[in-house]
Amino acid sequence: MRIKLIRHGESLANTNVVDPHTEGDFHVCLSDRGVAQARTLAERVDAGFIKSALIYSSPYERARQTLKILLDDHGLAPTVYEDPLLREHDRGYHDEESQLEMRKAHGWFYYRHKGGESPADVYLRASVFLESLYREIGRSQRRNVLIVAHGMFIRCFVMRFLHLSHEDFLTMKDPDNTDIISIVPQEAGRSPAFSSPRWCVEGLKLKPAGE
């Protein structure tokens, strides 16, 4: 089994054109640059992998658009499973800057944004999703998985899949737009960021030591 996790292309919120707190985060679309980024994915994810994979997407518009561009560029129309468990980290409806000291005191992984989620909450969503994914793999003939989601979900999924610590999580950089993070068998890994006895993760960038 191989799993490819793709962060959506640049969105209008990433460029501060819209405010997801007032526009509704799930409505936020790709920017023109984000569309161009998504068009490069067909060069990096081949049609053969897609045909052999279970395909999942966050229901947020920017993830939907990214996946649709990839599939259209390959001329494919496979079944896509949208799952709200893959949605963006909910940062609530309050000013984030006013919560910085509380986040430092309670820990970046565990602090729950006012009216929103902590990364630990996203980790729980990733755990629930992974259990449903295992069941679907058991029912299907497909052994590869393609997921288009968001940076926080991808990091939490990797943390859960490889049974990493929250200290490991804190060393991970947020994936760039349209970055592809791959989880592959240990023997197939070439330059893993993290590994377990059976699996390793490639394409995930780490922060410099001490940052």
Q: Tokens representing 76? A: 């494919």
**Does the annotation place 12 within a ligand binding site?**
yes
**Does the annotation place 14 within a ligand binding site?**
yes
Q: Tokens representing 48? A: 């053969």
* CB contact burial 139-164 (16+ within 10 A = b; e otherwise): eeebebbbbbbbbbbbbbbbbbbbeb
**Does the annotation place 74 within a ligand binding site?**
no
User: How far is residue 200's CA from residue 191's CA, in Å, rounded to a whole number?
Assistant: 9
- Residue 197: exposure state from Cβ atoms within 10 A (0-12, 13-18, ≥19): exposed
**Does the annotation place 210 within a ligand binding site?**
no
User: How far is residue 154's CA from residue 148's CA, in Å, rounded to a whole number?
Assistant: 9
**Does the annotation place 9 within a ligand binding site?**
yes
Interior angle at CA 193, CA 189 and CA 197, nearest 5: 55
**Does the annotation place 48 within a ligand binding site?**
no
Q: Tokens representing 168? A: 């490991």
**Does the annotation place 98 within a ligand binding site?**
no
**Does the annotation place 62 within a ligand binding site?**
yes
User: How far is residue 75's CA from residue 118's CA, in Å, rounded to a whole number?
Assistant: 38
Specify the amino acid at residue 145: V
First-to-last C-alpha distance (Å) of the chain: 33
**Does the annotation place 150 within a ligand binding site?**
no
User: How far is residue 48's CA from residue 181's CA, in Å, rounded to a whole number?
Assistant: 18
- Binding site, annotated residues for substrate: 7-14, 62
Q: Please report, in range form, the residues annotated as the binding site.
A: 7-14, 62
